[in-house]
Amino acid sequence: MHDMAYDPVRDEIVVPQFFAFAILTFRGDADGDVAPVRKIFGPSTQLKNPMALALDPIHGEIFVPQGDRILVFPRDADGDVAPIRILQVPERASRLTVDPVHNLLIVSGGGGLRIYDRTATGNAPSRAFISSKEAADVSLLTTNPASGMIFGVVRPRGRYAAEDYVGVWSIHDDGDVPPRWTIGGPNGLLKDARGITLDPKNKNVIVSDKTLNAILTFHVPEVF
């Protein structure tokens, strides 16, 4: 599962490149064999096999999980550039998402969801840690900054069984808190969820599933 991000401010697509140890940025209308408009790569970046990233289009920053660290780059970074901030997290970070409205960074991995100040650096502690068993199984993340809700794909086991679902938490949750809502299961449709995005205007949660070979749209106005 490799994450990418769309920048609505610049109309650009930002993609982690696992084998090149790089972050590539393409024009939103890129088509065919085109070169990236910017490429973050080289020893100064400290990137190694990046698989995920999150973009803050408001403050113009790219967040990349790398083991037990989060590397932060300016959106305009190009070439062999060092991170402008490095956040040390207690355990390996899996996925992350940014809430630019409430100035928060949400990180999955290490037994739950950790919520940090967006500009946290060094060994700064998290503001909250959602440690429920459901939060511990979150593999993909996104947020609705307008409402402060966190959407995480919960994957209790492997593929095929209809056990995956989307759990919804609030940025104000802390401790052993179960999801406020679940979408698509468990014991529903989702078997191998591999991507999640939101359509806030129409109050939809959109999930891709590899086993079903489908993109599923759930209309859930109550969570928006």
pLDDT digits (tens, 9 = 90+) for 197-208: 999 999 999 999
pLDDT of residue 160: 77
pLDDT of residue 2: 62
Same fold, 1-88 and 92-224: no
Q: How far from each other are the two terminal CA atoms of the chain, in whole angstroms?
A: 26
The mean per-residue pLDDT over the stretch 4-13 comes to: 93
| Phi and psi angles of residue 173, each rounded to the nearest 5 degrees, phi first | -75, 155
Environment class of 156 (CB within 10 Å of its CB; exposed 0-12, middle 13-18, buried 19+)? middle
pTM (2 d.p.): 0.94
Share of the chain above pLDDT 90, in %: 92
The residue ranges of every structural domain in the chain are 1-88, 92-224
What distance in Å separates the CA atoms of residue 8 and residue 171, rounded to the nearest whole number? 23
User: Is 37's pLDDT higher than 60?
Assistant: yes
pLDDT of residue 200: 94
Domain 92-224 CATH class label: mainly beta
User: Is 154's pLDDT higher than 70?
Assistant: yes
Question: Helices (DSSP H) in the chain: which residue ranges?
Answer: 133-136
The mean per-residue pLDDT over the stretch 53-62 comes to: 96
pLDDT of residue 3: 81
The mean per-residue pLDDT over the stretch 9-20 comes to: 95
pLDDT of residue 157: 80
CATH of 1-88, one of 3.20.20.140, 2.40.10.500, 1.10.10.10, 3.40.50.300: 2.40.10.500
The mean per-residue pLDDT over the stretch 151-178 comes to: 92
What are the respective helix, strand and coil percentages of the chain, to the nearest 5? 5, 45, 50
